[in-house]
Amino acid sequence: MTASNPLLAPVADLIDYAAVRPEHIAPAVDELLELARKAVDHAADPALPASWEAVVEPLDSASERLWRAWSVAGHLNAVVNTPELRQAYNAALPRITEFSTWVGLHEGLYRQYRRLHEAPGYAAWPAVRRRVVDLALRDFRLSGVELQGADRERYAEISERQAQTSQKFSENTLDAVDAWSLLIEDADRLEGLPADVLASARETAQAQDKSGHMLTLKMPCYIPVMQYARDRALREKLYRAYGTIASEQGDPQYDNSPLIEELLALRSEEARLLGYRDFADLSLQTRMARSSEEVIRFLRDLARRAKPYAQRDLAQLREYAARELGMDDLQPWDIPYACERLRESRYAYSEDELKQYFTEPRVLAGLFEVIESLFGVRLRETEVSAWHPDVRGVRVENTSGDLVGHLYLDLYARAGKQGGAWVDGERNRRKVAGRLQTPVAYLNCNYAKPAAGNPALLTHDDVITLFHETGHALHALLSEVDEPGAAAFASVEWDAIELPSQFMENFCWEWPVLQKLSAHVGDGRGLPRALYDKLLAARNFQSGMQTVRQVEFALFDMLMHARDQAPTTPQVLDLLEQVRAEVAVLFPPAWHRMPHNFSHLFAGGYGAGYYSYKWAEVLSADAYAAFEEAAQTSGQGPLDAQTGQRFRREILAVGGARPAAESFQAFRGRQPSIDALLRHSGMVVQA
């Protein structure tokens, strides 16, 4: 099968995704694991000279093929999940995990990297190569290479079990969402829903040979129901269903309760084995933040600043709901509905009205123009072999037409695709023997697919999400780092990785940019200035409530992982209530099970790291302030090419070739300040 297996294609070639089948995974993984093991053992040979060319380069070449194939398998498992693909992926997962653990525990390879570090000419090596070696030595220590005997064996068991348990958590969440649906045959119950949401629900029902409208818990359906459905009982039904996903409140086969306990126990044990106080302490070894105490102080300070604004937001919402909606007992399932009515009342526009101007083709064209203006590249749609007919390819070029990288866009929700929005990479930029390998990235969203012949309509929040994920993609695509060990996704500190993504969000509020993004679905008119002014006035609508909500998640995460002993699921829920009592203004019912669906923490790599969103938001807001300052000086608006090129050079291009704090300082000329974040959020005292 070697010759016909698309997962074994040369790394320089694009993957033929349309040809990948579940049965390709096992033979590709087996063959590439064998080659990678041989390469590791060879690289560890003490007879080799202590040089980059003898040790690191051949090891990178062998392991790159394995990780490219496995990245493709993992990506397909996330976006076109089928029983056959899931079975093939899960069958290979233990072997991949075992290999990763084996490499991390390989004392010979560890000694070889120490030889590199101690070589006489090491100080004269290029800085990026020294950075790769330094990070590798750190990661070896964090991978348990200095453990011996029973501790070493137990560490390997923990690593394998964590991978399996996280994967099962993700599967339970996906399956619980896919398994739930509600057929509505009385159209009156759907009064208030936007036309495109109704059309999609009708198509979903028809696809199952049923009449009426089929509601699901996928975001393009769930959020509009919560915002617009006038039927309070319907909102309550969906709220309860979503709030109990993958918990003991629902189908027991999808209950994540035991997985939460097991993951927390495994993480706690891993930290103690490696000599750290707790999992938070272990995780922060690779972050900008130095300790859990520093993170907790940061979050509590932000909560202290934001909570008065959140309390004001909620008081205004309660008063409006009682006066205008007759809701004296505002319930959690009423909050999104009441918020949207208050927004419409206060600012005289609705999200549904606004999204008529954001057609997907226009938004993408405008996004491409923004990128081209800021960063001096060109984006062209191109034919690619894809995993689904909806996927589109984008070729990124420099101004001379040379290839910079490829981007795959997968924008629509569907069964078998995990929820949310994310970016991942298939391969990194790399230069070997004078040949340049360009990066490949995937950008995934979950927008509602339009009816045939119609463009998708995006809410302004959808547009912000697209810009956010594009920032992640640009971090990979515009890299000028030639060593994969210092690529952005491989080595940028986790609490700085959101800097480019959150930075890009800011452009979605600028009038010159929104003119490029908007064209009414009916007549092609751009967004009217009067509607833009309303949107801008509403930018910080309930920003206090939104901020304390994010702080609640982040503080819960950090406190949960900063314990000496792993908590049980009841203790996890009790901790969440304690955090809410401290920082929150909204309180879900006792039966609500938010942690059971919190894939960021238990399946997405954000355990003891959810604070990164707010931490990086300080960096991103301050970075964007440089564009605001340039606009004031030049009068040319926010798309300042000179500042954009500097952002590309000092942030995007360097990836993880240096610490993120140094990159920020190189761009901004100083340490970051929280002032811009507070100003952008409207949380400043007016003079």
CB 507 within 8 A of CB 370: yes
Residue 426's φ and ψ, nearest 5 degrees, are -95, -40
* Measured distance CA(682)–CA(543) in Å, rounded: 7
Is the C-alpha dihedral spanning 598, 600, 602, 603 positive or negative?
A: positive
Q: Could you give the 3-state DSSP secondary structure of residue 133?
A: helix
Which residues is 407 bridged to in the sheet? 394, 441
Print the SS3 string covering 632-654: HHHCCCCCCHHHHHHHHHHHHCC
- Residue 336 corresponds to which tokens in the numbers above? 């999104």
Whole-angstrom distance, CA of residue 606 vs CA of residue 295: 14
The beta-carbon contacts of 114-118 under 8 Å, at least 24 apart in sequence, are 115/46, 115/50, 116/50, 116/51, 116/52, 116/55, 116/56, 118/50
In whole angstroms, give the CA distance from residue 84 to residue 70: 16
Which residues are known catalytic residues? 469
Core vs surface per residue 33-49: b (16+ CB within 10 A) or e: beebbebbeebbeeeee
Helix (H, G, I), strand (E, B) or coil at 378: strand
Would you call 665 exposed, middle or buried from its count of C-beta atoms within 10 A (0-12, 13-18, 19+)? middle
Q: What are the phi and psi torsion angles at 422 (to 5°)? A: -160, 165
Residue 359 DSSP one-character state: B
